[in-house]
A = this chain, B = another copy of it.
């Protein structure tokens, strides 16, 4: 019995996130259907995280145990043959038996894309937030810097999906950059709460708009109250960029 770790890339526009759901098509569902066509079995596939409806992934990870002996590189090609065009498998590697795409995860990196131009971009519909007014990167980065380090992110967790336990997370990167008319926020942490990146973005856009000051971020964190933060930015701009594991697990 082998344990396989697969890296997927998907345009989430047409999907209700990763996780299988009743009455809605998920990426996990189309992936499991392709896997069944290739292997003839339907193993229990573990994803590194749920993702919201419309969220994209440049490198999403999932793992499953299989008796099938197909070589990893042939599995990649076979799955890509059966997967729809908005989902592709980038890589496959064998990992230790106790590896689990979600529980073995040490951290993730997300990016949030904003098309910052008076006119919408037809090529970025469903792929970026369209923001009309000029964004001041210095203001955004002053706010972004306040999130780096270990903090309780209760204020940045969707109130209707509060998990029990410690809501502290360590952010190791929180930075805005501009690429022409595209403005991108990159954030890495050891873990993320529900809607955390989208609320971080929505709050920082309030800083850009002058509704909040960058110096307000500390007070919002210490309030530990969702109502203290700004709105939840739309899902369409969000990309799961990378998933981090202990290197010995994922030797290629």
Contacts and interface: CB of A to CB of B under 8 A. Distances in A.
Interface of A: 9-11, 56, 76, 80, 85-90, 119-123, 125, 127
Contacts of A89: 119
A121 B57 CA distance: 11
B85 A122 contact: yes
Which A-B residue pairs are the 3 nearest by beta carbons?
Answer: A85-B125, A11-B122, A86-B122
B119 A88 contact: yes
7 contacts: A9-B119, A9-B123, A56-B123, A86-B125, A88-B120, A88-B121, A89-B119
Contacts of A123: 9, 11, 56, 127
B9 A88 contact: no
A240 to B, nearest CB: 13
A112 to B, nearest CB: 15
Nearest to A11: B122
Contacts of A90: 119
**Which residue, A89, A119, A122, has most C-beta atoms of chain B within 10 A?**
A122
A122 B10 CA distance: 6
A97 to B, nearest CB: 27
A126 B123 CA distance: 11
A90 B120 CA distance: 9
A122 B76 contact: no
A239 to B, nearest CB: 9
A88 B127 CA distance: 16
Contacts of A56: 123
A7 to B, nearest CB: 10
